[in-house]
Amino acid sequence: MGVNALVRKVLDDVGIKSERFNLQWASAAEAPRFVKLITGFTEQIKELGPMGQAEGLSPEEVKTRLENALNLVSDRKVRISFGKVTKTVRKERQFTNEFIENLVNEKMSGSIASGLLEANLLSVLKANKTATKTTISKALGASSDQVEKILAALDKKGKIKLSGKKWTLVTA
């Protein structure tokens, strides 16, 4: 249930309809339920249409957003934050979807937002090869202070470097 809530939150935050994801459990003894789940999900996806259509996104935008989502859920800070949510769920012994979704929204929104901003910043540099802090701020719709913090963190990790006034990705 926790993974379900996390994936839905991340998809929503990257602009992909979370209805495109569904995780349900069915035992081998529940064949009729399994058929009902698969049939319902298939109908739902058919209604949404091809990936990106319902979202109004080009195939390239969909690819970039999904890459950013994957990078986000692979991020150490996000995984640690998710671990804390899991501990809270176990401690409180509240296993309802509503409780878990509220916890994910409450406790992970900050790490998800900053992780997505970082992923989007890297996408801007990947697309443009080099960019100034001002250009990056405008492209992301983020404040100069937010961008500066992320640039400093990425520079410290060795993922980007500053050449003059322009930032570039560090290639391996």
Residue 30 belongs to some domain of the structure: yes
In a domain, 144, yes or no: no
Domain that holds residue 13: 2-128
Percentage of the chain lying above the pLDDT 90 cut = 48
In this predicted model, what pLDDT tens digit does every residue of 19-53 receive, in sequence order?
999 988 888 899 999 999 999 999 999 999 999 98
The pTM (predicted TM-score) of the whole model is 0.78
141 has a pLDDT exceeding 90: no
How many domains would you assign to the chain?
1
Whether 17 maps to a domain, the answer reads yes
- For 150, residues 6+ apart whose C-beta sits below 8 A from its C-beta are 114, 117, 118, 121
- Residue 65 is assigned to a structural domain of this protein: yes
What does the alpha-carbon distance between residue 105 and residue 80 come to, in Å, rounded to a whole number?
15
Q: Residue 28: inside a domain, yes or no?
A: yes
CA 107 to chain centre: 15
Does a structural domain hold residue 43? Answer: yes
For 166, residues 6+ apart whose C-beta sits below 8 A from its C-beta are 130, 131, 132
Tens digits of residue pLDDT in 85-101 = 999 999 999 888 899 99
Tell me, yes or no, whether 164 lies in a domain: no
Is residue 169 domain-resident? no
